[in-house]
Amino acid sequence: MNDGVKNRLIFFGRKFLQMVVVLILLSFAVFIIARLCPGDPLRSYYGDGLEHMSEAQKENARENLGLNDSLPVQYGRWLTGLLDGDLGLSYKYKQPVSSVIGSMWQNTLILGGTAYVLTFVLAVLLGMFCAFRENSLADKLICRIGTISSNIPVFFLSLLLILIFAAKLGWFPAGGAYSYGNSGNLPDRIHHLVLPAAALVLEHLWYYAYIVRNKLSEETRRDYVLLYKAEGVPAKKILRRHCLRNIMPSLSVIMAFSLPHILGGTYVVETVFAYPGLGTLSFESAMYKDYNMLMALTVLTGAVVLLFNLAAQLLSEFIDPRTGYEEPEGEAI
């Protein structure tokens, strides 16, 4: 085994161990905080029926659910179940946690994936438009509007869209992923997707469009651009065929690092629009103290964020090896 392969294996081994440690610490922190928060998990399991239960029945229910065990015992039992592939029972849904998540993760993928693609396609187009007209009235106006829109919290923006386009104009539904009985109806799903996707795109669009604009503006000042202009090549053609192509590697890294950012926004938007996805599940599990669901979603979300960050780091190393892993320290041979 040569040194290069060995160093890469060491690098990946370190990253994997770091991810495991971070996920364990994250799960433990959420485990403790969830149990310190006020509320009774029996409310999630029994609902209004809890009011009609005697103290003896409540105590027996806690015993059956393992809630009377010490916190180390409860955490150890959950961690053992996780390693065995058992995420436990959802108190609220009375179903295995894995089944509930399995029925909803696709909705989060559809919403987040749609917003992600639209954000970067529109960011590139808007960034090119502004870069070509740098310092013009249109560029300055778009910069001002974009700065304002990107500073509006996504939950407020979502409420604003619901107020205008759902409550006032009635063009789109105020929430949900589809109408009752129309889960397989594609046009109906798209109709429900418009407002939450629009909220996500508007929240993130200008941030990335501004990056594209600035990178293209810097690229247009390079010597090869001046040479093309001297040869009579149209400015739009230079921008589209050469400048844009040259910034794509660095833009790809930014796109990779942005995935956790957009995922976080997706969770918030799902909650506001009552969109049945992992974000709504996270909010409900925290509110109703559905411990097993909350723990599973914490680990799942944390793992996704860490994996995407690692992928972005590897992509950055591939594009520019100078940003790669550090060589393990040792004696020179």
What is the per-residue pLDDT across 45-98, written as a single tens digit (0 to 9) for each?
777 777 777 788 878 888 888 887 888 888 888 888 888 888 888 888 888 888
Q: How confident is the model at residue 328 (pLDDT cuts 50, 70, 90)?
A: very low
Helix axes 244-272, 105-132, angle to 10 degrees: 140
| pLDDT at res. 2 | 65
How confident is the prediction for the chain on average, in pLDDT? 82
pLDDT, greater one: 185 or 294: 294
Cα 199 to chain centroid, rounded: 14
Distances (CA, A) of 299 to 26, 28, 77, 84: 8, 10, 16, 15
Domains present along the chain, CATH in parentheses: 3-101 (no CATH), 106-276 (1.10.3720.10)
State the average pLDDT over residues 241-257.
Answer: 80
Does 319 have pLDDT greater than 80? no
For residue 285, the one-letter residue type is: S
Taking every pair of Cα atoms in the chain, the longest distance, rounded to a whole number of angstroms, is 89
d(CA 279, CA 301): 10
Burial 221-239 (b: 16+ CB within 10 A, else e): eeeebeebeeeeeeeeebb
Task: Indicate the pTM of the whole model.
Answer: 0.78
How much is the pLDDT for 197? 92
DSSP letters for 178-232: S-TT-TT-HHHHHHHHHHHHHHHHHHHHHHHHHHHHHHHHHHTTSHHHHHHHHTT
More confident: 8 or 190: 190
Return the exposure string of 293-307: e unless at least 16 CB atoms fall within 10 Å of the residue's CB, then b.
Answer: bbbbbbbbbbeebbe
Average pLDDT of the segment spanning 199-227: 84
Phi-psi region of 88 (alpha: psi -120 to 50; beta: other; left: phi over 0): left
**Predicted confidence band at 325 (pLDDT cuts at 50, 70, 90)?**
very low
Q: Which residue has the tokens 């944390």?
A: 302
